[in-house]
């Protein structure tokens, strides 16, 4: 065993919670300068202590019950202003709730989704990017390519 091997083997593994996460290592700039890492949700309460400050949101978590397949579960979500802290870690966020309900009613009135996105805008920085999933009413057709299903997404830069 060489000197380098003995140094490596004697080190204790470092927990991901013991050192700050460096997202810069994962920008994938070698693939393309506009490839970014983000998530499909930003208000997930399970990220308190990892992405979000515990003291800032702990008392402001809202809860809603969902039923899927006859079983109920409680979803815990953070307030919309948490998106500001999200963008301290990630440059892009996919909004998938736009798939289930369009931004405007047939008569042109804004839907709840439109109003939620207006609230998001108050907390977005100049460089922050949102990817909106196209509503199923507009684009419900899937394109099969080599056994993989692809769904179209629109990129909205606010």
Buried b (16+ CB within 10 A) or exposed e, 74-110: eeebbebebbebbbebbebbbbeebbeebbeeeeeee
Residue ranges per structural domain of the chain: 18-156
pLDDT, mean over the chain: 76
When pLDDT is cut at 50, 70 and 90, the band that residue 137 belongs to is confident
Task: Write out pLDDT tens, residues 22-63.
Answer: 655 655 556 677 777 788 888 989 889 888 999 999 899 999
Task: Write out pLDDT tens, residues 68-98.
Answer: 999 999 999 999 999 999 999 888 999 988 8
pTM: 0.65
Q: What is the pLDDT of residue 120?
A: 93
């Amino acid at each position: 065993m060489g000197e380098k091997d003995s140094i490596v083997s004697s080190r204790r593994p470092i927990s991901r919670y013991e050192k700050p996460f460096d997202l810069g290592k994962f920008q994938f700039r070698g693939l393309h300068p506009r490839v970014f890492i983000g998530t499909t949700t930003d208000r997930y309460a399970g990220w308190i202590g990892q992405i979000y400050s515990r003291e800032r949101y702990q008392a402001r978590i809202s809860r809603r019950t969902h039923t899927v397949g006859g079983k109920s579960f409680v979803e815990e979500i953070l307030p919309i202003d948490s998106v500001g802290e999200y963008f301290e870690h990630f440059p892009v966020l996919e909004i998938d709730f736009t798939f289930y309900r369009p931004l405007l009613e047939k008569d042109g009135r804004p839907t709840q989704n439109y109003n939620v996105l207006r609230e998001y805008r108050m907390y977005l920085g100049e460089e922050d990017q949102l990817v909106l999933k196209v509503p199923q009413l507009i684009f419900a057709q899937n394109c099969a390519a080599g056994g993989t299903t692809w769904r179209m997404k629109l990129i909205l830069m606010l």
